[in-house]
Each structure stands twice: as C-alpha cells, then as structure tokens.
C-alpha cells in the first residue's frame, strides 16, 4: 500500500471515472476506511452500465477464465480474476435482492433493469462513505508529494490517483482518450487502442450482393486464426454483425480473411450429392437450410442458380466448400462509434498485476477498460471491471 502525507489533502484517494471499475474501486477503498472521491465528467455515473445487455446489464459470466481475455500479456489478468471471481459479485447482487437469470453460455443478466446494478453500486458507495461529484471535468493532473487534480470545480489533492476513464468506444456516452493521455504524461507505454466487439464493413461489391439479405440472422461457425465462435451472424446494410462476428472482431487484424461455416451441423456435400440428378435449383435447395433471401444472394455472389443436374461433381464440391468455408475479407470495422469496447490501452508491462499500480509512479493506478485487457462478449468485461477495481481498491 502506498501512502503519502499531503499538505492540505482533502482525500486519500481520487478516482477519475464513475463507471463500473471506478465505482467498484471506490467502494473497496472506502470500506477500508479511505477517504475517497469519485470524479465523473458526465451528468451521472454508470452510463455504459445503463445501456449494457440491452438495458438489463450482462454483469458477469460464471465461466470467466483468463482465456476469455485478450492482452499483449495474457497472464496479466490472472491474479485479479482469481482474487475476485464471478461468485463474489453474484453474492453482492443477491445481497441487494436483485433477481437475475442466465441467458446463455454463462451470461448473467438482471431480470429487470441495468439501473439495479447502478443503484447497488451507489448504495455501496454511500455505505462506504464515498463522495461522488458528477459534471466534474479534469483539466490537469500533476504529481508532487501526492497528486493535484485541477477541475472545473476547483483544485483537489490526494495521496493516490486511480484512472478508470475507460476507452474510446461509444463516444456519445462521453468516451475520451483522457486515460491514455494521463499514462503518456507519466511516461507509460500504450498498446495501440482499436475498436473491438465491433461489426464489420464489407467491400461495396460484396455488400451489393448481400444487401437484399440485410436483417437476416444465421447460426454459423466463424473462424479466424486459432479462434472460432459458434453463434449467430447478422447481415447488416453495411456488412456483418451479430455475436459471432463481434467475438471474432476482438482478434481480427486489418486485411485478414475470415472463414464462416454457414451450415455447421450439416454435410452440405452429401446433401448436394443426394440431389445431383434432380431438377431442383441450387438456390431452392440451399433455401431449405438457409434463409431464402440469403441463399439467393449467395448464389448471386458465386454464380447463377440452376438445376442441380447441370452441375458436375467438381462443381458440387466447390459449392459445398464455399458454403462450409465461406471466406470473406472485411473492408474494415464500424469503428469506435459502434464498438462495445476498446482493445489495447495502458501496457500491462507498466502495471502491477496484484494492485494495478504503475510500477514507476507510486500512487498512480489504472483499472478497467483503459488497461490493455479486453474481454470477449458475454459479461467478461464487467468481470474485469469488478476484478481490477477490487485489486486497486485493496491497495490504495
């Protein structure tokens, strides 16, 4: 634990950022008797929590493990995740009488509203004596015998400073590069931020053929490198979205090709062989297993539909391969505006995995999304917020 005697200090700890990680860190520090002040530049805390999970907050995942996270150092998240597992947060949710359910794949959602999680965090803050100031914009941060934070509400001082300002995703909710700028100010390395859990844009030529399928969802297996996700994909007016696409976007590199199995539970080659001599058109056969509009659009991409009896064996094999290894190269992503999270951030080489403290700047901490630890879709990023907030809250 780091403590400095600060002349005229009002606080032991200032937390900049009133999101999931910031509030949870403040709660844990307050419970330990620290004088804690949370500064939130928006008019209220928890805006991202409020919209999460379709308004019901996917607040954790019971199957959380380090493999669900992407980082330049895949081992960094292990300590914090082990010290504050999903069961601990679930106990807190139950203590507040919040009803929840598992939607799928270990994802836990509130039965009613995300606001219940925000209210729970505010109640815990009140019990821990945490002060929260909204509409408080930080102008400068300096360090000399502690930290001085200049804001639109005056000058504040503290022994410890926690940066919990998130990433660049969902700018309309107030996302900024503040956390990265503070890290750079103190000479800390940044892993380049990029949009993650984000829809893909397709080339105009491909999208022109798929545009008639906009709004269609397909159960598929999406692969990239050594990662694969079996969930739905959604055809959009600009490209591809849906859970499987958002998941794979976390790992995708610009210009790389994706492979999509459009019929993961079927042997399409056998189906084609069985009907090889028939009059049924290819598009009509595919429409028995895929949405009709998509089946026709797929045929438009790879050649006009015609009766199966007009295809030879090699052509049928090519068709089967293109259905079950549908290869597509995104032209890009929808960017930070549509990204659910930001990958990259403050390098984990700069931080203690035990406390989230900057190794070279005593008293400075980084937690949550601003750190180069990014979870897959499904409650993992909230669990990282609780776990990293807890780690810092036990140390400040």
Give residue 1's pLDDT band: very low, low, confident or very high (50, 70, 90). very low
d(CA 83, CA 24): 14
Which of 281, 298, 333 finishes a domain?
A: 333
CA distance 373 to 64: 14
Q: Rounded to 5 degrees, what are φ and ψ at 291? A: -55, 135
> How many domains, in total, are found in the chain?
2
Q: Looking at the structure, do residues 27 and 140 belong to the same domain, yes or no?
A: yes
Do 279 and 306 sit in the same domain of this protein?
yes
Q: Give the domain CATH number at 252.
A: 2.40.30.10
Task: Clarify whether residues 357 and 223 are in a common domain.
Answer: no
Count the helices and strands in the chain (H runs, E runs).
Answer: 13, 21
pLDDT per position as a tens digit, 37-55 = 999 999 999 999 999 999 9
| Beta strand pairing call for 154-163 and 147-151 | antiparallel
Half-sphere exposure of 204 (CA within 13 A, CB side): 0
Residue 6 domain flag = no
- Asked if the structure places residue 5 within a domain, the reply is no
Q: Which domain holds residue 376?
A: 11-195+340-393
Domain termination site, one of 333, 362, 377: 333
184 and 52 together in one domain: yes
- The CATH number given to whatever domain includes residue 112 is 3.50.50.60
Minimum mean pLDDT range among 8-22, 46-60, 256-270, 378-392: 8-22
Does a structural domain hold residue 31?
A: yes
Whether 152 and 119 share a structural domain: yes
Same domain membership, residue 183 and residue 68: yes
Residues 190, 73 share a domain: yes
Examine the domain organization and report whether 35 and 136 are in the same domain.
Answer: yes
Claim to verify: residue 310 and residue 363 sit in the same structural domain: no
Same domain, residue pair 364 and 327 = no
Calpha distance 348→314 (Å, rounded): 51
pLDDT digits 0-9 by tens, 146-167? 999 999 999 999 999 999 999 9
Residue 243 inside a domain? The answer is yes
- Reported as a single tens digit per residue, the pLDDT across 88-101 is 999 999 999 999 99
Tell me, what DSSP letter sits at residue 236? Answer: -
Domain boundary among 333, 352, 368: 333
Chain segment 157-213, per-residue pLDDT in tens: 999 999 999 999 988 888 899 999 999 999 999 999 999 999 999 999 899 889 899
DSSP conformational letter for 310: G
Q: φ and ψ at 16, to 5 degrees?
A: -95, 110
**DSSP-derived secondary structure for 13-24:** EEEE--SHHHHH
In a domain, 220, yes or no: yes
Is the pLDDT score of 9 beyond 70?
no
Residue 26: closest CA among 308, 393, 396, 358: 393
Nearest to 307 by CA among 334, 325, 285: 285
Q: Are residues 78 and 213 in the same domain?
A: no
**Is residue 99 in a domain?**
yes
Does one domain contain both 190 and 262?
no
């Amino acid at each position: 634990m780091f403590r400095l005697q600060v002349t005229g200090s009002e606080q032991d700890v200032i937390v900049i950022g009133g999101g999931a990680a910031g509030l949870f860190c403040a709660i844990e520090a307050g419970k330990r008797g620290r004088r804690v002040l949370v500064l939130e530049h928006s008019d209220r805390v928890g805006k991202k929590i409020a919209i999460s999970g379709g308004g019901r907050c996917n607040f954790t995942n019971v199957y959380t493990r380090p493999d669900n996270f992407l980082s330049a150092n895949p081992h960094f998240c292990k300590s914090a995740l082990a010290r504050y597992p999903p069961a601990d947060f679930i106990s807190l949710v139950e203590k507040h009488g919040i009803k929840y359910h598992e939607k799928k794949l270990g994802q836990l959602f509130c039965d009613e509203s995300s606001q219940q999680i925000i209210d729970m965090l505010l109640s815990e803050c009140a019990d821990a004596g945490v002060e929260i100031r909204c509409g408080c914009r930080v102008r400068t941060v300096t360090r000399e015998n502690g930290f001085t934070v200049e804001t639109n509400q005056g000058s504040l001082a503290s022994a410890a400073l926690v940066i919990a300002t998130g990433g660049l995703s969902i700018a309309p909710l107030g996302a900024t590069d503040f956390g990265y700028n503070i890290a750079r100010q103190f000479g800390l390395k940044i892993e380049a931020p990029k949009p993650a859990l984000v829809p893909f844009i397709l080339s105009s030529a491909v999208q022109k053929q798929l545009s008639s399928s906009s709004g269609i969802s397909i159960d598929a297996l999406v692969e990239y490198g050594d990662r694969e996700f079996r969930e739905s994909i959604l055809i959009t007016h600009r490209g591809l979205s849906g859970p499987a696409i958002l998941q794979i976007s976390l790992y995708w590199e610009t210009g790389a090709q994706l492979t999509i199995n459009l019929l993961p539970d079927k042997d399409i080659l056998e189906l084609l062989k069985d009907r090889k001599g028939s009059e049924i058109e290819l598009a009509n056969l595919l429409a028995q297993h895929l949405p009709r509009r998509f089946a026709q659009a797929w045929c438009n991409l790879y050649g006009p539909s015609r009766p199966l009896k007009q295809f030879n064996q090699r052509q049928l094999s090519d068709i089967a391969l293109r259905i079950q290894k549908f290869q597509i190269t995104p032209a890009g992503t929808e960017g930070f505006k549509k990204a659910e999270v930001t990958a990259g951030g403050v390098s984990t080489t700069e931080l203690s995995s035990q406390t989230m403290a900057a190794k070279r700047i005593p008293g400075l901490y980084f937690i949550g999304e601003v750190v180069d630890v990014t979870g897959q879709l499904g409650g993992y990023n909230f669990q990282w917020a609780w776990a990293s907030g807890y780690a810092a809250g036990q140390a400040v």
